[in-house]
A and B are shown apart, each in its own frame.
Chain A
């Protein structure tokens, strides 16, 4: 099993550009989440999903969209990139939230 796979690993965007961060898991996990990690801020929840077709906002959802058309995939879309979105993004999945989450290796995004 590959676990949680995130692509790309690194990305540089110009202000105003849009892009999609990909996240896929092969563990048949229902729960998936996106986090961003900034120095001094810890990990903060952007959006999460408890199953295909179901998504909800986390702590910092502004500027991001998600969809969950399949159990395996949970892409994160940046609509119009801003320098404040420069961060490391982690996708995570869990069979059921109380059992802990498995994280992908992250995407390092720089917006210039």
Chain B
């Protein structure tokens, strides 16, 4: 079983629609969680950290469920520019070892 698992997609989303997807992690001692965005042939870029109480950044909302060991990302009012691969990232208790999920590909279409 992979340590961090994601649905690879693609999620085909009409422009303006809402899309949500999850990520599960296996290490219950994980301490910090992130969503990164990666465009084709580019480096990953931090989209947002995920806090226990859930957090929102504009059209993006992240949730953490420690009991069930998953995090989620919701994108509202999808834009064409939201098309990318979204990487779920978990930081182990040691504070330095990131474990990446395989990514969820999102395609926003007109």
Smallest beta-carbon distance A75→chain B, Å? 18
Q: Chain A, interface size: which category?
A: 20 to 34
**A58 proximity list for chain B (CB < 8 A):** 97
As a 0/1 sequence over residues 26 to 47 of chain A, the CB contacts with chain B under 8 angstroms (1 = contact) are 0000010101000011111100
A101-B98 contact in complex given A43-B87, A90-B44, C-beta closer than 8 Å: yes
**B45 proximity list for chain A (CB < 8 A):** 103
Q: Apart from A42-B103, A101-B98, A106-B43, what are 18 other A-B pairs with CB-CB below 8 Å? A: A31-B96, A42-B100, A42-B102, A43-B44, A43-B100, A45-B98, A45-B99, A50-B96, A92-B98, A94-B96, A96-B95, A97-B91, A97-B94, A97-B98, A100-B34, A100-B46, A103-B45, A105-B43
B-binding residues in A (CB < 8 A): 31, 33, 35, 40-45, 48, 50, 58, 90, 92, 94, 96-106
